[in-house]
Amino acid sequence: MKNVLILASGIGSNFEAIIKYFKKNERNDIDFKLLCNRKNAKVLKRAEKLNIEANYLEFDKFKDFFKNRKFDLVVMAGFDRILDKEIIEANPFINIHPSLLPKYKGLNAIQKAFVNHDTISGITIHYANEKVDDGEIIYQKSLKINPKWSLKKLETKIHELEHYYYPRIIEKLLGLNVLVIGSGAREHCIAEKIKESKFLNKLYLADANDGFSFLGEKIEYIDYFDLAQKAKEKKISFAIIGSEKYLSEGIVDIFKKFDIKAIGPDEKTSKLEASKLYAKKIMQKYNIKTAAYKKITKKNNINKFVDLFKNPVIKADGLAFGKGVYFNSDKKKVKSELFNFLSGKFSNASKTCLIEERLFGFEVSLFSFWDGENLVHMPLCQDFKQNNEGLNTGGLASICPIILNSKNEFKLNNYKKKLELFFKKEKIKTPFILYSGLMVASDDIYVLEYNVRLGDPECQVLLNYIENDWLSIFFAQVNKMLDYVKLQNKKRETTCIVMTSKGYPLKSRKNIEITNINKNNNLKIYFSNVKICNNKLYSMGGRVLSLVSQDKNLIYNTLEEINFEEKVYKKNVEIKQ
């Protein structure tokens, strides 16, 4: 049980917004109390209606009140007195102020902005100290002022910001309960980074493999409705969904019904990944460059359609988990493989296919975080999908960052503007992560495909290259706060090499023991397709481990040392430009 004391002196609109937010989220694990220094303040009546314990106390008695009491957080919500340093230092105190501090400290901040004809105002949430509207800033939200607004309209807009953001910052400071859904190295990496955060209360895992299930409490479930119900019972602040499988099956929409926040698109937006044809139509609508293409569903059109393209590439329209792409300089082989696709090589995912003109240049991966209002782009990565036999896989290696020359950077920025226009015009409200697979060609930058989640293994390099508290980034994303995120990157590039089982991406052996995995402080090892039995680690085929470091030689030396007779990994991984 967390103990929170709210200090208020007046009407109490912020107090009410805080209490209603936590009541809506059924946070009965937090005990709120109100302390007021004004006998007839309206906030006392609000507390009574909301069934919150409230006390009036003359201000000169506050020092005695705090002397023997400890709180997890003290929240100042319209409190009109300055507290002694002795009181402030004994408990964590936060305050909210209706301006972008340090501007307009003290009383009448909104009125001052209005009278001075400011074009921008906003709110500041900060740790409190013994000075007026001082202390370390936690969060600021700006607001563009319409010159036609009245003072009352400006006050209303500022209060709306206060009532939205203050409860969410309080939730973060009290500690977040987070659910990570997925079983791969990507989810292992996400879970590990969240576990490192000082803002984590408890980590929950769904479908975690044996290699990282120890990081949190596992939730067993029957279906997504059952998982959502259990997440609600465990006071989950938000969920992070890893694999495209969950997203395409509409898990985010189900979580919405239970008022559970999630990072992942709704079912409609998931079509950007689940249907390449849908993604192509979106690209055309927003003038985003992509390869020329033809849709094909009938086998008797194979010869005619393939011959329309000089260098044809075939793609399954639906989800094929990174394997539904094929190209070859021999058109006979392309036609033969297209026949296999349309015959159901990837089940219903390839019953409809696209034939498109192959683009030439070098590929980069752009991950863009959307919170419903703000778009933040991650550093570029490069992914390595083809194995030594030329077969497409889910990903065998990744490097971050990729630095473009000024000419290509200009083209990339143009693409980012179109992307933001697309998000806003389509009124996408759910927070999610868009992967843009880009081809940097000689004439422009083209989109090869979209995914709607973090990639694997790009996730592993991104989360280790960017030094921010990742729980804070994810929290900002589900609460429309990404505009306040400033990325802090390492100085050296980060590399991930994936160790797979022999035969991947086709059939590979299972239940093969893996030994001699040695830990190193400069190396991260993430588990993908493994199980533990009798304290022994076994591969279950496919992608098995991801090794991440700023020292590429250390990765390769460790891979050599690991004892696994089926091991295969990509050698001599270098940036391609």
pLDDT per residue over 262-318, tens digit each? 999 988 899 999 999 999 999 999 999 999 999 999 999 999 999 999 999 999 999
Looking at the structure, tell me whether residues 117 and 183 fall in a common domain: no
Residues 96 and 181 both lie in one domain: no
- Give the residue from 241, 342, 358, 250 showing the smallest Cα distance to 296: 342
Give me the count of residues in the chain.
Answer: 577
Boundary of a domain, candidates 148, 174, 200? 174
What average pLDDT score do residues 180-187 get? 97
Bridge pairing between strands 73-76 and 2-8: parallel
Q: What is the DSSP string of 528-563?
A: -SEEEETTEEEE-SSEEEEEEES-HHHHHHHHHHSB
Query: Considering 144, 174, 204, which residue would you say is the last residue of a domain?
Result: 174
Of 100, 65, 69, the residue nearest 83 (C-alpha)? 65
Do 192 and 69 fall within a single domain?
no
- Is 228 or 322 the better-scoring residue by pLDDT? 228
Residues 170 and 215 in one domain: no
SS (H, E, C) 125-158: EEECCCCCCCCCEEEEEEEECCCCCCHHHHHHHH
Average pLDDT of the chain, as a whole number: 95
At 418-456, the pLDDT tens digits run: 999 999 999 999 999 999 999 999 999 999 999 999 999
By DSSP bridging, strand 375-377 and strand 30-36 are unpaired
Rounded to an integer, what distance in angstroms lies between the CA atom of residue 33 and that of residue 495? 50
43 lies in some domain:
yes
Asked if residue 505 has a cis previous peptide bond (ω within 30° of 0), the answer is yes
Render pLDDT for 322-370 as a digit per residue (tens, 0 to 9): 678 999 889 999 999 999 999 999 999 999 999 999 999 999 999 999 9
Residue 127: predicted pLDDT: 97
Upstream peptide bond of 102 is cis (omega within 30 degrees of 0): yes
If you average pLDDT over residues 379-400, what whole number do you get?
Answer: 90
Domain membership flag for residue 221: yes
Q: Which of 216, 234, 264 is the last residue of a domain?
A: 264
Give the full edge-to-edge strand order of the sheet including 293-296. 293-296, 353-357, 312-316, 325-327
Lowest-confidence pick of 10-24, 141-155, 168-182, 239-253: 239-253
What pLDDT does 499 receive?
97
Q: What is the CATH number of the domain that holds 207?
A: 3.40.50.20
Report pLDDT for 439: 97
114 plus 248 within the same structural domain: no
Cα separations (Å) of 466 from 251, 380, 477, 487?
A: 28, 12, 16, 7
**Does pLDDT of 387 surpass 90?**
no
CATH of the domain at 137: 3.40.50.170
Alpha helices in 30-92 (DSSP H): 42-49, 62-67, 85-90
The three-state DSSP-derived secondary structure of 292-332 is CEEEECCHHHHHHHHCCCCCEEEEECCCCCCCCEEECCCHH
Do 108 and 14 share a domain, yes or no?
A: yes
At 245 the pLDDT is 87
**d(C-alpha 395, C-alpha 411), whole Å:** 26
d(CA 350, CA 501): 26
Dist. CA 454–CA 401, nearest whole Å: 16
User: Do 109 and 48 belong together in one domain?
Assistant: yes
Residue 495 domain flag? no
Is the confidence at residue 45, as pLDDT, over 80? Answer: yes
Same domain, 102 and 217: no
31 and 83 within one domain? yes
What pLDDT score was predicted for residue 324? 87
pLDDT at 511 over 80: yes
- pTM > 0.75: yes
Say which residue the tokens 């022999």 belong to. 502
pLDDT of residue 134: 92
Residues 111 and 225 grouped into a single domain: no
10, pLDDT greater than 80: yes
3-class SS of residue 523: strand
Nearest to residue 322, comparing CAs of 473, 477, 498? 498
Predicted confidence (pLDDT) per residue in 79-124, tens digit: 999 999 989 988 999 999 999 999 999 999 999 999 999 999 999 9
What is the structure's pLDDT at 120? Answer: 97
pLDDT of residue 217: 98
% of the chain residues with pLDDT over 90: 90
- Count of structural domains within the chain: 2
124 in the same domain as 186: no
Q: CA–CA separation, 527 vs 487, rounded Å? A: 26
> Which structural domain range is residue 25 located in?
2-174
pLDDT tens digits along 557-577: 999 999 999 999 999 899 988
Does residue 19 sit in the same domain as residue 168?
A: yes
pLDDT at 472 exceeding the cut of 90: yes
| Mean pLDDT calculated for residue range 8-28 | 95
The tokens of 201 are what?
């209360």
Residues 206, 227: Cα–Cα separation, whole Å? 8
In a domain, 344, yes or no: no
d(Cα 73, Cα 66) in Å, to the nearest integer?
A: 13
